[in-house]
Amino acid sequence: MLPINLAGKRALVAGVADDGGFGFAIAKCLAMAGASVSVATWPPALTIFRNLLERGKIDASRRMPDGSLLEFERIYPLDAVFDTLDDAPAELRESKRYKDTGDFSIGGLAAQLVADFGERPLDIVVHSLANGPEVKKPLLEVSRGGYLAAVSASAYSMVSMLQRLGPLMRSGGSLVSLTYMASERAIPGYGGGMSSAKAALESDTRTLAFEAGRAWGVRVNTISAGPYASRAASAIGIIDRMVQYCKANAPLPEELSAMEVGQAAAFLSSPLASAITGHTLYVDKGYHAMGMAVAGWSDVVAGTAG
């Protein structure tokens, strides 16, 4: 038997605001493997997420194989477009949804982790963060501000997190992020500069793998997940069609589950993947391997694919 064993490891999963996305599934899988897990949540969603937990609204999703409920060691506020609190505009810091959260910047998160757990408290960091304010616009219509915002929130945030959290990670640690194959192929409807942001994230994964490996002995990998109809992904506008198209054309004609991505992240975070870094791991039922469609949009819409 060769189990994934993360007992004694501490993980931080950034980008968990409900039980419906990859971030939550990754957090659950890490906990199932024995890690203690903290999460970081976007401040406007923080109160809602805490209420979901306190009122038992997501207890079914939190249920572990042994019958217990998934518990988070800490829940931190994080707006990853800000490296320091001073970078956030005063009107945002003083707004209703931010003013009582404390230092919600990446630097503030790093400082709080040290305050809570000591100088090098982390073994695993998961970057499950992406946002493109103009994601429904084709690239030809995207503004400079919208494009840069997508890259900032979805790609540079990983660089900034590793700059500040890398020194807090123990040797042998792992950072895992999430990407999508629009980084390398045109996906009509996935706009707003998000394809460029994912391409940047994958390139940065390779460079950071070298730099973080030499600096702290930390591995850096990314998972290229197939489309999944999470609440966050609904912003794309065509996510259901994307899911059905990939299901119809993948070697394994099935819908991807969030737990399948969570299990892959747990593997990459474990000693079983100790020689893997700088890698993009496809978890998409094999869709990335296809060079020709076997079902078109019309087949998917008509329900005749399969």
| Catalytic position from the list 147, 156, 180, 287 | 180
Annotated active-site residue 190? The verdict is yes
- Rounded to whole angstroms, the Cα distance separating 293 from 300 reads 12
**Which residues, 6 or more positions from 117, have their beta carbon under 8 angstroms from its beta carbon?**
10
CA-to-CA separations, 21 to 137, 159, 198, 260, in angstroms, rounded: 23, 22, 18, 12
CA-to-CA separations, 257 to 118, 170, 261, in angstroms, rounded: 36, 31, 7
- Rounded to whole angstroms, the Cα distance separating 41 from 29 reads 18
* Count of residues making up the chain: 306
| Catalytic position from the list 156, 190, 228, 287 | 190
Annotated active-site residue 180? The verdict is yes
CA-to-CA separations, 44 to 79, 99, 138, 186, in angstroms, rounded: 9, 10, 27, 32
Q: Which of 157, 265, 284, 170 is nearest to 208 (CA)?
A: 157
Supply the residues annotated as catalytic: 180, 190
